[in-house]
Structure 1
Amino acid sequence: MRYIRLGSSGLKVSRLALGCMSYGEPGLGTHPWSLPESESLPFVAQALDLGINFFDTANIYSLGTSEEFLGRALRKLTRREDVVVATKVYEKMTDNPLSGGLSRSAILRELDASLQRLGTDYIDLYIVHRWDYETPVEETMEALHDVVRAGKVRYIGASSMHAWQFAKAQHTADLHGWTRFVSMQNHYNLLNREEEREMLPFCRAEGVGVTPWSPLARGLLARPWDTESARTAGDPIQERFYGPTERADRAVAGVVEEIAAERGVPMAQVALAWLLGRPAVTAPLVGATRAVHLQDAVAALDLELEPSEVARLEAPYVPHAVVEYV
């Protein structure tokens, strides 16, 4: 495993993070394909054995049970000070009108709930899951600064927003001397490269670490295009993200398959090797529901693509419409 600073912060993370959206009580939330606790624990153990020290979850994943599973696994398998735990806030946890968003009230309430579920007294990286159009950014940034000052959070990050929104949040923090975001967790992979226009250059200029989610495009870059899985069969988000550009996306995936065959490696290694080679990327979030998923991800760290292969992978891409992450 290799380790790298998260942006310009002093936090050192593995070059891969284990995304824990796949681990949680299957009957709760919007992820019916998630794994129960007994099946989740081995993946946390495997990640630790492979040198991964960066674990990412969210309060909304399986309505909090992902945090519970991860917290219990880490307490059983390692020391708290040896791992970086990230979780998120924004989504509604109940139907109550006070639930959700990035108000001061919501941040303080949901942070305490996440700490309890994770069984820890601090979060290494606390991430705002989405942009809150209803709460003044000043209120959000001051509340985040306060939880850092209180010692409940070490660093703060953001996820899936427009570049102008991220810039506004950082500027607001600077104006008041508040804590800045050190990371951006965005949608970035070979099938969706729109972040290359504004967000990634801004992150590089500002020293912000980038931890892309869905590096394999919800599995579309990990297997031949028409192959179905339990997740694709019950994943309406996949159609929203990639359905309108299926023809071009299929062509990109086809090149991934060709190069994988030429190299004698799985498709996932090729797609991840491309992403790991992007200059702004710190640590992609890798999901795993089979042992080979993490093995392939770690192997991608040693796969160096030739410039001609990179050009082939990027050539079929066409612009994608902006996805509103609400």
Structure 2
Amino acid sequence: MKYKLLGRSGLKVSELCLGTMGFGTENGWGADKDTSFGILDTFTNAGGNFIDTANIYKLGTSEKILGEYISNRDRDYFVLATKYSLHDNKTNPNASGNNRKNMLRSVEESLKRLKTDFIDVLYLHIWDDITPIDEVLRAMDDLIRQGKVNYAAISDTPAWVVAKGNTLAELMGWSQFITLQVEYSLLQRTPERELIPMAKHYGMTVTPWAPLAGGALTGKYLRGEHGRIKPESNRLNDNSVRITKAVVEIADELGISPGNVALQWTRQQNFSCIPIVGATKVSQLEDNLQVIDVELTAAHLQKLDEASAISLGFPGDFFREDAVKLNSFGGFYDRVEKR
């Protein structure tokens, strides 16, 4: 496993991030403690140190399993990322949301479950459209100054909110968001409209969740293995089937799994990207780990891009059309690009 810098920080993390949303057997699915420990052993033995969880995953069981595992090992080796915002507590109106009170409460509870004195990366889990972004960043900065958190991060939030937050943090001397977690895959490319360009501008690393689209890009739905997926899911429509078939064709050509093709596509984009690979079985992770030795050709990338192309909407498509017009006038656009 190679290591990469996370965003504009000096924090070194493995080129794959282990997702632990499935650690625990609540809700009738997931990995029990022994299986979770086996997955963690496999990841760390491969050189992985970047692990993603959240306070809400399996109602806290994911964090508890991680805490038990890491407490008997070198804590400083691991880069633990967790999240706050969501919590199932109907008796406390401030037990959810992005507000400072919930953040501080959630962090204290996560520290206990994780059996650690500090969290390496703290994500805002999902934007609540209520809390001012300056309240979020000031509270995160206070936690960082206290040594309870090392770095600030954000997930599932509009690009304009993140941009406002990082600009404000730069102005005020607060810690900025260093990484952005969003759903991103060959079946979900809409972050290319605003979120990914914004992340590139601020030097943020993108950590895609569901880079395999819940397993759709492994080809399992083509084989009729629908599992828990709903029939109306967009991972089962004609568009997703067409894209998945292109993935499978390339996988067959290279002699690798379709999942490796889909994961590598995210890793070969023109921005800093560390996909989150979830697993509830050791065999699933073992297959995902093979991606570090995969390299897609320009032809492969073009085939996948064409199969999964989306409209950028306005102004993205307008800029694209404008570039074509400028090129038609003596290559002016090319000269501007080179400068």
Instruction: Output the TM-score relative to the length of structure 2.
Output: 0.87
Q: Quote how far apart the aligned CAs of 1:174 are.
A: 2.3
5 Å matches for 1:212-291? 212-227=208-223, 229=225, 233-236=227-230, 239=232, 242=235, 246-291=237-282
Secondary structure of the residue aligned to 2:307 is coil
Q: CA deviation at 1:293?
A: 2.1
Gaps of 5+ in 2: 314-339
Task: Confirm or deny: 8 A CA contact 1:26 1:35 kept in the other structure.
Answer: no
Change (3 A) 1:75 1:145: same
Deviation of the 1:95 alpha carbon: 1.3
Q: Are positions 1:12 and 2:7 aligned together?
A: no
After TM superposition, the structure 1 stretch with the greater mean CA deviation from structure 2, 179-188 or 92-101, is 92-101
Kept in 2: contact 1:192–1:320 (CA 8 A): no
Q: CA RMSD in A?
A: 1.9
> Which residue of structure 1 aligns with residue 293 of structure 2?
302
SS in 2 for 1:125: strand
Partner of 2:26: 26
Which aligned pairs between 1:1-326 and structure 2 lie closer than 5 A?
A: 1-27=1-27, 32-76=28-72, 78-96=73-91, 97-227=93-223, 229=225, 233-236=227-230, 239=232, 242=235, 246-319=237-310
For this pair of structures, how many residues does the alignment match?
A: 312
Shift, 1:19, TM fit: 0.2
* Deviations 1:52-87 (CA, angstroms, capped at 9, x unpaired): 0001000000111110011111223x3000110000
- Percent identity between the aligned chains? 37
After superposition, the Cα gap between the structure-2 partners of 1:113 and 1:48, relative to the gap in structure 1 and judged at 3 Å, is: same
Q: Distance in 2 between matches of 1:113 and 1:298?
A: 32
Label 1:239 to 1:214 Cα distance change in 2 as closer, same or farther (>3 A).
farther
Compare 110-119 and 17-26 and name the one that shifted more: 17-26
Q: Which amino acid aligns with 1:187?
A: E
Q: Displacement of 1:115 after TM fit?
A: 0.3
Q: For each residue in 1:263-291, what CA deviation from the matched residue of structure 2 results, as whole angstroms up to 9, or x when unmatched?
A: 11111111111111112233110011222
Per-residue deviation, 1:195 = 1.2
| Structure 1: tracts of 5 or more residues without a match | none
| Structure 2 residue identity aligned to 1:85 | L
The CA distance in 2 between the partners of 1:235 and 1:247, in whole Å, is 16
- Scaled by the length of structure 1, what TM-score is found? 0.91
Deviations 1:116-148 (Å, cap 9, x if unpaired)? 000000000000001121212221111111101
Distance 1:241 1:184, change over 3 A: farther
Is the 1:26–1:36 contact (alpha carbons within 8 Å) kept by the matching residues of 2?
A: no
The 1-side partners of 2:288 and 2:272 are apart by 15
Q: Which of 51-60 and 288-297 deviates more?
A: 288-297
Conservation of the 8 A alpha-carbon contact between 2:179 and 2:206: yes
Tell me: CA distance 1:260–1:178, structure 2 relative to 1, closer, same or farther (3 Å): same
How many angstroms does 1:240 deviate by? 5.1
| Contact in 2 for aligned 1:72/1:119 (Cα 8 Å) | yes
Give the AA of the match of 2:247: V
Amino acid at match of 2:6: L
In terms of Rg, which structure is larger? 2
Q: SS of the counterpart of 1:219? A: helix
Aligned 8 A contact 2:216 2:235 in 1: no
Q: Which amino acid aligns with 1:285?
A: I
